[in-house]
Structure 1
Amino acid sequence: MRESIRVFAPATIANVVCGYDILGLAVDAPGDEVIMRKRSEPGVIITKITGDDGRLPLDASKNTVSASVEHYLRHVGRPDVGIEIELHKQMPIGSGLGSSSASTVAGLFAINAMLGNPLSKMELVPFAMKGEELACGTGHADNVAPAILGGFVLIKSYEPLDIIKLPYPEELHCAIVFPEVDVPTRDARRMIREKIALKDAVTQWGNIAGLVSGLFMKDLGLIGRSMKDVLIEPVRSILIPDFHRMREIAMINGAISFGISGSGPSVFAFTKDPDTSVKITKAIQQHLSKLNIGSQAYTSAVNADGPKILD
Structure 2
Amino acid sequence: MNQIKLFSPATIANLCCGFDVMGLCLDNIGDEVEIHKSETPGVRIVSIAGADLPLEAEKNVAGVAALALLREWPTDFGFEISITKKIKAGSGIGSSAASAAAAVFGINELLGRPYEGLDLIRFAMQGEKLASGSAHADNVAPALLGAFTLIRSYDPLDVIRIDSPEDLYAVVIHPDIELRTADARSVLKQNVSLPNAIEQWGNLGGLVAGLYTKDYGLIGRSLQDKVIEPLRGILIPGFDKLKTVAQQAGALGSGISGSGPSVFALCKGAASAQQTADMMSAVYGQISLKHDVWISSINPKGIKILETN
List alignment gaps of at least 5 residues for structure 2. none
Q: Distance in 1 between matches of 2:103 and 2:224?
A: 34
Offset, 1:140 = 0.4
- Asked if the contact 2:164/2:211 (under 8 Å) is kept, the reply is yes
In 2, the alpha carbon distance for the partners of 1:10 and 1:41 equals: 29
Figure out how many residues of one structure are paired with residues of the other and give that number.
307
- Verify: 1:16 aligned to 2:15, yes or no: yes
1:71 maps to what in 2? 68
Moved over 2 A (4+): none
- Aligned mates of 1:29, 1:91 — CA distance in 2: 11
In the alignment, structure 1 residue 57 sits paired with structure 2 residue 54: yes
Look up the SS of the partner of 1:231 in the other structure.
coil
Q: 2:277 & 2:199 partners in 1: Cα distance?
A: 30
CA contact (8 A) 1:173 1:272 kept: yes
Aligned residue number for residue 164 of structure 2: 168
For residue 131 of structure 1, what is the aligned residue in structure 2?
Answer: 127
2:18 maps to amino acid: G
2:40 pairs with 1:44: no
Partner of 1:225: 221
Shift of 1:77: 2.6
Q: For residues 93 and 282 of structure 1, what CA distance do their matches in structure 2 show?
A: 24
Verify: 1:268 aligned to 2:268, yes or no.
no
- Partner of 1:230, secondary structure, is coil
Q: Secondary structure at the match of 2:48?
A: strand
Q: 8 Å contact 2:7–2:31 — kept in the other structure?
A: yes
In the alignment, what sits opposite 1:26? 25
Counterpart for residue 252 of structure 2: 256
Q: Quote the Cα distance in structure 2 between the aligned partners of 1:33 and 1:73.
A: 22
Task: State the one-letter code of the partner of 1:18.
Answer: C
Per-residue deviation at 1:293? 0.9
The match for 1:7 is 6
* Partner in structure 2 of residue 291 of structure 1: 287
The aligned counterpart of 2:115 is: 119
Q: Give the conservation status (yes or no) of the 8 Å contact 2:29–2:87.
A: yes
**Paired letter, 2:19:** Y
**Equivalence map 1:147-158=2 (5 Å):** 147-158=143-154
Distance 1:123 1:82 in 2: 20
TM-score under structure 1 length normalisation: 0.96
Q: Distance in 2 between matches of 1:20 and 1:294?
A: 28
CA contact (8 A) 1:7 1:33 kept: yes
Runs of 5+ unmatched residues, structure 1: none
In the alignment, which residue of structure 1 is the partner of 2:303? 307
Using the TM superposition, give the Cα deviation of residue 147 of structure 1 relative to its aligned residue in structure 2, in angstroms: 0.6
Q: Which whole-Å CA distance do the structure 2 matches of 1:168 and 1:71 have between them?
A: 31
Deviations 1:53-93 (A, max 9, x none): x2x10111111111211221121132x22211111101111
Q: Is the 8 A contact 1:122 1:149 kept in 2?
A: no
Q: d(CA) in 1 for partners of 2:146 and 2:190?
A: 31
Deviation at 1:278, TM superposition (A): 2.0
Partner deviation per Cα, 1:291-310 (whole Å, 9 max, x = no partner): 12111111111111000110
- In structure 2, what is the equivalent of residue 88 of structure 1? 84
Indicate if the aligned counterparts of 1:13 and 1:26 stay in contact, CA closer than 8 A: yes
1:249 Cα deviation from its structure 2 partner? 1.0
Q: What residue identity is the alignment partner of 2:129?
A: E
1:277-299 alpha-carbon deviations (Å, 9 max, x no partner): 12222221222022121111111
Which amino acid is 1:185 matched to? T
Tell me if the contact between 2:31 and 2:87 (Cα under 8 Å) persists in the aligned partners: yes
Provide the aligned C-alpha RMSD in A.
1.0
Deviation at 1:43, TM superposition (A): 1.9
Aligned AA (1:16): L
The alpha carbon displacement at 1:24 in A equals: 0.6
Task: State the distance in 2 between where 1:217 and 1:82 align.
Answer: 46
Q: Give the structure 1 partner of residue 232 of structure 2.
A: 236
Aligned to 1:101: 97
Q: In the aligned structure 1, how far is the partner of 2:82 from the partner of 2:198?
A: 46
| Higher mean C-alpha deviation, range 204-213 or range 232-241 | 204-213
Instruction: Report the CA distance between 1:124 and its aligned residue.
Output: 0.5
